[in-house]
Chains A and B, each alone.
Chain A
Amino acid sequence: QQQVKQSPQSLIVQKGGISIINCAYENTAFDYFPWYQQFPGKGPALLIAIRPDVSEKKEGRFTISFNKSAKQFSLHIMDSQPGDSATYFCAASLISSGSARQLTFGSGTQLTVLP
């Protein structure tokens, strides 16, 4: 019930291409879905997040698409750049809960953008 499944495990994209990472969740009570970017040796950095009351959120080159009925959400990186090469994690949380605010993370996608 608490799992978040992420795919693909690794992704190679040419510079300027679109990177797409998918996640699926099981717990319908989740109400907050952030994406984190992690560079080697660093902590995860919050990239973009969405609540289930909207189907899409865009910030610059990053877009989250959310499908509540399918319990799926995805990250699209437009015009991918070599500097985007990192590991990306999707996550889900119950922010409306007073005690269960922990993030449940996907297993990560290692993105490589070729110059």
Chain B
Amino acid sequence: NAGVMQNPRHLVRRRGQEARLRCSPMKGHSHVYWYRQLPEEGLKFMVYLQKENIIDESGMPKERFSAEFPKEGPSILRIQQVVRGDSAAYFCASSPRTGVPIEQYFGPGTRLTVT
């Protein structure tokens, strides 16, 4: 049973370019969460999605960031016009639709470097 998959693992973008990060949840999981980790810091929640729905985007920056989880395919976190401050590790987690507690399982992350 494959775990949460993220790609690419490393992404380098120049300022002003777009970054697309992909996340495939664990088999049977229909909830996806995105977190950002700055160097030497803990993870900060960005957005919580279910298939075709954004449930909570309270942690998303108001501009340049968007996320989707289509009916088919992976969840995508999109960062437009990247700036140096966007350099971080972005982690995706998934959880099953039912069950208590709702345990979140993390992928290996995408490390974004903006030059």
Binding site for B on A (CB under 8 A): 6, 32, 34, 36, 41-46, 49, 51, 89, 93, 95, 98-108
Contact = CB atoms under 8 A, between A and B. Distances in A.
Contact of B42 (A49, A95, A102, A108): A108
Contacts, number: 68
30 contacts: A34-B103, A36-B106, A41-B108, A42-B108, A43-B106, A43-B107, A43-B108, A44-B43, A49-B103, A89-B42, A95-B100, A95-B101, A98-B55, A99-B48, A99-B56, A100-B56, A101-B56, A101-B95, A101-B102, A102-B33, A102-B45, A102-B48, A102-B59, A103-B93, A103-B104, A105-B43, A105-B44, A106-B42, A108-B40, A108-B42
B65 interface: no
B72 interface: no
- Dominant SS at the A interface? loop
A46 B105 contact: yes
